[in-house]
Amino acid sequence: MRLVMASANAHKALEIAEILTDHDIEPRPRDLGEVVEDEKTLEGNARLKAVAVCARTGVPAVADDTGLEVDALGGLPGVRSARFAGESATDAENLAKLLDVMREIPESKRTARFRTVALVAFPDGHEVLTHGVVEGVISSQPSGIGGFGYDPVFVPNEGRGLSFAEMEPEEKNLISHRGRAFRLLAKMLAD
């Protein structure tokens, strides 16, 4: 199936394309401009992006939104994960803020999860929606050079004690929130 990527995030687009290998994934057209992610839920933001890109291109559009939910922070940064340190914050700034606000939190209370909502919007108005979650902990120091965002400090329970940034992309995609959501999405699109 031909799908256009709704995300302008190159790292995210690469991960999605590596998972949806049975589909013809086209990059997001550069001239579309930004879609303001101002919804209060991951599902709402994924829908905003997919519907906007689908409407502009006339092609089914695939989008996701992901949040890191830290239990000791009451679920923050959550839907604001990409903007935790401010509207124009970089991955490094968001990561630094997370580590700063968690500096006094003991290791036993650093539980967290990544949650992804994946959505395809079709020109006829129907949608296919999936979710993926991975549980883990936030380390006190970044480790690894792979991945992006909070990957250097997120250590999944299923990951042999490695952060996402220390894993090879194939290993990460097998257990990650995004991998789970998009494998389920691929299955639903095939049905």
CB 40 within 8 A of CB 79: yes
Rounded to 10 deg, the angle between the 10-19 and 177-190 helix axes is 50
Looking at 24, 65, 71, 100, which residue is catalytic?
65
DSSP structure string for 124-173: TS-EEEEEEEEEEEE-SS---SSS-TTTTTEEETTTTT--GGGS-HHHHH
Distance separating alpha carbons of residues 61 and 123, to the nearest angstrom:
9
Asked if 151 is an active-site residue, the reply is no
Alpha carbon dihedral 96, 14, 187, 59, in 10-degree steps, equals 110
Q: Which residue's structure tokens are 């839920």?
A: 41
Q: Which residues are catalytic?
A: 65
